[in-house]
Structure 1
């Protein structure tokens, strides 16, 4: 299954009071395994940048003024998202800003049915524990030493690793990836079990090697057993 893990950076906490999304980072996963495909964009918010927000993500208005408006690249983002479930940490916040930007340009909001909230998953798995992205990275031994400030793509990449751990760990991802690869292979080539791959001849059939003990080996074994003193099976 294809999923998109994403994160946003904004000018503040509430799009209803005029705050805007200024950055989005997305990581594609298939079968809980990162494919290597990502999407990253900065946006000109067409307003000022409060100092408190800039202190969090380090994005100044002088930097963002040179970036495109959300309306200018919305189609590119929507094409990358497709119809996949969208995974985010405290997802209601990120969905709120993304949908506010879409509504501002007259586009349909993304259905909340597609939302996967890793905070909600973490709360069920670790009740009473700290649920921040930093705390979960520490819990699962995920290196975040390069995370000096918040950044949408970096945080999405870290969250993708956390999401795998929250939903079963590396093993489940490897199993699902193997299933995906098997489907792709068998749809294009003959099954390995049938002895063919990409039209190449099968390996020659080999009879199984005998593994039964010889009469001499059986006799030596009986002699060894008989020599054991005070054996349990002889009591």
Structure 2
């Protein structure tokens, strides 16, 4: 038996799941498919989930008789002596901003109209807002079992660009499909990689307290949160912004919202897709373009 719960996901994804599962309640799917199909459908969920959330529970041979996966950034699935547990992660709740009444909206529009010329003049200052973009490459999509093999980050501080890239040693072989996708081999990790704890310490020093941007960042931030916890390091506490929902709001008629599809819409070239550093650099440039268009405020 397999149970999947979805919230705030695109209708197309819900439609896909009904081909394999029965929707017994809005957002709740039940089915009984092979492990191969189950994992393939979970990959599809991870790919197309957008800004929504998903959790999957299925049978397995452990003390409880089941295990679960989740995309929630405020939760992490942890293994405690063979028993899966759902850990609550510390997150910074954003306070709801005042100004939802019509009068407030009218006042805000009036003020923005008055300041438009000055804001345009200061666009270079907005573009110089310090922030960092992060991207990861992993051995798979399961945060409880798969491992980070590369970390890439790029930051812009007062118009000064700098970057961070590190391969990570792992104690297993890199799956052949991951090597095909990322060009990262087990031999490369052995010769050029460092331990994950050391890499995370270097990454935290690189990003300092800067706000973080990512594209479909739920995946990366969940992996980072889980890895930091396992390494005994403090969690990231700064503001994190996912650019995908912003792009979706701006561009409603793109064929899909994969990074490789979105970048040309903003006239951005990526040196190498599925390379942590170059994906991070492209995400940084995308964030800069969105700041210039006043679609993103950090």
Tell me the distance in 2 between the aligned counterparts of 1:143 and 1:63.
26
Give the 5 Å matches for 1:56-71. 56-66=181-191, 67-71=193-197
Corresponding residue for 1:127? Answer: 252
In structure 1, the gaps of 5 or more residues are 174-235
Deviations, residues 127-156 of structure 1 (Å, cap 9, x unaligned): 242222111221112223x32x42111111
Do residues 162 (structure 1) and 286 (structure 2) align? yes
TM-score (norm 1): 0.65
Do residues 40 (structure 1) and 165 (structure 2) align? yes
Tell me the distance in 2 between the aligned counterparts of 1:73 and 1:157.
18
Do residues 74 (structure 1) and 208 (structure 2) align? no
Q: 1:153 aligns with which of 277, 289, 293?
A: 277
Tell me the distance in 2 between the aligned counterparts of 1:105 and 1:140.
38
SS state at 1:93 partner: helix
Structure 1 stretches of at least 4 aligned residues deviating more than 4 Å after TM superposition = none
TM-score (norm 2): 0.52
Structure number with the higher helix fraction is 1
Corresponding residue for 1:3? Answer: 131
Deviation at 1:30, TM superposition (A): 3.2
Number of matched residues? Answer: 167
Asked if structure 2 preserves the Cα contact closer than 8 Å seen for 1:23 and 1:42, the reply is: yes
Corresponding residue for 1:22? Answer: 149
SS state at 2:252 partner: coil
Deviation at 1:54, TM superposition (A): 1.5
Q: Which has the larger radius of gyration?
A: 1
Tell me the distance in 2 between the aligned counterparts of 1:124 and 1:45.
39
Q: 1:51 aligns with which of 176, 180, 191?
A: 176
Q: Choose between structure 1 and 2 for higher RCO, CA contacts under 8 A separated by at least 6 residues.
A: 1
Deviation at 1:73, TM superposition (A): 3.3
